[in-house]
Structure 1
Amino acid sequence: MAKCFISSTCLMLILSCVESCSLPRSLYVIVPETIPPEYQVAKVETVGCDAKSTLLTVKDPSFTINSNGAVVALTSVSVAERGRTFFVCAQDNSRPESKMKVHLVRSTMPTKHQRGQGFLIRSKRRWAPPNLTVVENYVGPYPKLIERLVSDTSARYKLFYTVEGEGFNKYPTGVFNLNRDTGDLFLLKAVDREAFPVYSFVVRSWDTVINKETDENLPLKVVVDDVNDNPPEFVGPLQFMVPEHCSVGTVVGKVNTTDKDQIGTDHVKIRYTLLTGTDMFAIHAETGVISTTNNTLDRELKDNHLVVVQIQDMNGAPSGLVATSTATIVLSDINDNPPTFMKTSPLDYEKTNNVQLQITAQNQAPLNGSSASWQSIPVNVSVTNEGPEFSAPSIRFIVKENTPNGTVI
């Protein structure tokens, strides 16, 4: 009997956004136990890459990759039961290198099923890898084929397929559909990763010849791939306090933020910027820590400062989503002004010509272990008269015109 090797691929996990040249993070490939030379293992699809400048490389000397993305074996390659992995890299002129991990999974062997007194030989059948992906907010058209879960079913061994779980008959329902005859899995409507990131369900196969369920049920997960559809948000009040006349580089406070998109991606990598107040303050672009840039902050001149803070995801790339808010920085007082007298002298002869004072001498530290008390001495202050003065700064007289000289007014 001639052997027939079947190869198929399933893009796994998270696909990068189309804003830059990238590869899927993982690629699972079903391969024979021994891969012959010139055997095409898979075909790699890039996302958002410049076709003219894209360079594809494979990090395994047993394989090469053509310009069209086809990964081909250079020599005979054995695949262990646990599988084999290597990396494929893509890079164009616009962005750093993107890397994808390729998982080679050895195909299963044919199985036998008893029927009456003889045996029904099932032809080799392939299930898809256990995790699939869909991109959130897909705009259509629907239904969208996600994956053909089964291939190579012999005409002698007819199966049909049923499914139960999330996205089908469990909440949220009506998201997917499975063709019972072909095993094709379809997406029926847009999904939101932030609302439901992973769908788990089980596909069961039924033997129409013996009218029984087979023993090759397949637990599956559909992972919702994130897109950057949530802007960053500020967390907590933007109110800080710093002493006046503090030194350059004094930390004022940290701006706290969050983003509902997927952790570990550029979708949640936030860049911080000050839009105002840059003459007095600066903000660290990656941590959001605000600090002073000079030592001239004076509470007596201005006791608080309002600065506008901008946060942008995608690490500040032009495609990143933006939010702004105003931070209040209050200056706390330090003892930088000596007390002053309201008048040059409090003594007035016409009001009090003699002032009795009592002067006491004390240490800064209190008396301890002694019955003695602080000593005082009376002081008598006599106020001298400075002479007559006008009760008002000016006096007004009325004089008729043509009054002779020497007339007493």
Structure 2
Amino acid sequence: MRSTIHKKRIFFSCPMDCDEKYDSIQEKLNMVRTIDGFDDPLDGVMEHLDSDLPENGWDTMGPLPVPSWLGPKPGSKDHSKITTENFISFIDNNGCKDIAHQVDQLVSNQILPDIPCLIGIDHSLTGGVYSALSRHYGRENLSLIIIDSHTDAVPMSVLAGAIQYDMEVNPSSVHDSNDPFLYNRPDSYNASSFVHSLIIDKQVDPKNLYIIGVSDYPEKKFMRIKDPRIKKYTNAYVNLKHKGLTIITKKECKLNPQKIKNFLKKISTPYVYVSIDMDIGANNALDGVRFRNWKGLNESQIYKLADAVADIFSNSIQLAGIDICEIDPRRAGAITPSGKDRTYEIAANLIKRIAFNPERDNHFPSD
């Protein structure tokens, strides 16, 4: 294998947005298209990247195309397809997995042995890149670091049961009992379950899996609830830890950042893949993401987290690939009364810090 320092970072995208939530669908149907903003998040990120990147260290191959109705800004000709039923059918019939497989094939056939750098929307596409790298380097030689407000490792039926319980007992529940997301859903591969699939399919060793910054880890009080739906939900997290997976909550990131460094020191595989869900900064550092149900970290905290990850790379531990996902091109970079959203800029800064290490110290000033 060539060392990281002699490999190019190859940027590509896959602007699939199959979010079936009501607000997302209404945004797409009511959107006024303008010349401002980007349809593909790759363009928004590269606007803040290319002039700063080391020469000859990177290249871009553009997007993996998806059907126009699955894009973030579908045109009027697709409006008849923009329905909850169509998106649910796509997800429940493993449409996310089909496109993740296309990502897998693109990485395998057109990028490796260079370093894939995916700029995407739906986080399930991470599984496509990772599966290609897992075959290429060997499962035992590859660790996975995910920075995310959500664990993305709970089967759909288990998550739906927990939400149904919340609606029954919580008068302030934010969930809608009429949401079809909550009923009779199969355990498909999607943005909230792809990590579970990677584990079940033995593509990742849980002992080499680190999920950092999560806000959805059950509080201790939930562990005492006897309702079988909540038991299944909490047991899903307990079982992950029993298998050796490392979960670090957002609260721990804020109160004990040294804990992150201590856990990452345990990494012994020669290659590491880094996946960043930009909702890690939702409602705080940025707003241009699909899911904003948790308040994320501020910009300084996000960079400290990225630097802790970047510090693990050395001659013995190399970057296998990186992705930035869950960017919402309808919101990212938007100008509001509070100022211009900085999702694209912050995403670019994260790439500089992680994907161009050790060049980072020579080319990019610290913030």
TM bin (shorter chain):
under 0.3
TM score, norm. by length of structure 1: 0.20
More strand, by proportion: 1
Q: Report the structure number with the largest CA radius of gyration.
A: 1
TM score, norm. by length of structure 2: 0.21
Q: Which has the higher contact order (CA 8 A, sep 6+)?
A: 2
